[in-house]
Amino acid sequence: MGWFKRLKEGIQTATKFKKEAPDGLWYKCNSCGETSTMKELRENFFKCPKCNYHVRIGSHDYFELLFDGRYQELHPDLIAVDKLEFTDLKAYPDRLEEARRKTGLADAMTNAVGKVKKRSLVISAMDFSFIGGSMGSVMGEKISLAIDYCLEHRIPLMIISKSGGARMMESAFRSCKWPRPPLN
């Protein structure tokens, strides 16, 4: 059983397609059922070219869409720790490890700095694919660090907020650490 019951069947993430599907492959829309190529989907900003259905995308997809070319991830090594020794169907460390392995992300929030029309911007973007985009201590710390970075460099911050809710495995404890262990 997953953490979040799907209200609508067939929700898929474009990030997954992106890793697995080169431009020539097809994307079948969950809304209208029509097919288009991955290239067409990307060129239409991950909206179905036939019906404009918005496909869920990840933080790095947002960075690639919004920044002028290159960007740099900030604070990539911050990870959650299991302060409560929380276990439900799985132990929390196992759940974290699985989410990291599955998504290639450190947590549900990713910070990056880059340029938009040649002006600097920091974007903090949530990933629903990482434990439902749940908000734990890493997310709070990363928002705080992004704000500090923006104040220090006098640049604006954009937060792309798409969380599924609070991460109950952490409660309200501040429980994150550096550095992130290597992915298996």
Stretch that binds Zn ion, among 2-10, 31-39, 102-110, 149-157 (CB under 5 A): 31-39
Q: Provide the pairing of β-strand 35-37 with 26-28.
A: antiparallel
Interaction between residue 44 and Zn ion (CB under 5 A): no
Q: Which residues does residue 159 pair with via DSSP β-bridges, in sequence order?
A: 124
Establish if 51 lies at the interface with Zn ion (CB under 5 A): yes
Choose which of 4, 12, 25, 32 interacts with Zn ion (CB under 5 A): 32
In this chain, which stretch among 17-25, 30-38, 109-117, 166-174 interacts with Zn ion, using CB under 5 A? Answer: 30-38
CB atoms < 10 A from the CB of 66, how many? 16
Instruction: Please say which residue, 31 or 44, places its beta carbon nearer to Zn ion.
Output: 31
| Candidate ranges 51-59, 119-127, 132-140, 164-172; the one touching Zn ion (CB under 5 A) | 51-59
Is 38 one of the binding residues for Zn ion (CB under 5 A)?
A: no
Concatenated DSSP letters of 4-56 = S--SSTT--BHHHHHHH--TTSEEE-TTT--EEEHHHHHHTTTB-TTT--B-B
**Least distance CB 118 / Zn ion (angstroms):** 34
Residue placing its CB nearer to Zn ion in the complex, 29 or 146: 29
Query: Is 36 an interacting residue with respect to Zn ion (CB under 5 A)?
Result: no
Write out the DSSP string of 140-174: HHHHHHHHHHHHHHT--EEEE----SB-TTTTT--
Q: Which is nearer to Zn ion, 23 or 34 (CB)?
A: 34
- DSSP sequence for 128-141: TTTGGG-B-HHHHH
Stretch that binds Zn ion, among 1-9, 52-60, 106-114, 120-128 (CB under 5 A): 52-60
CA 73 to chain centre: 12
Q: Which residues bind Zn ion (CB under 5 A)?
A: 29, 31-32, 48, 50-51, 53
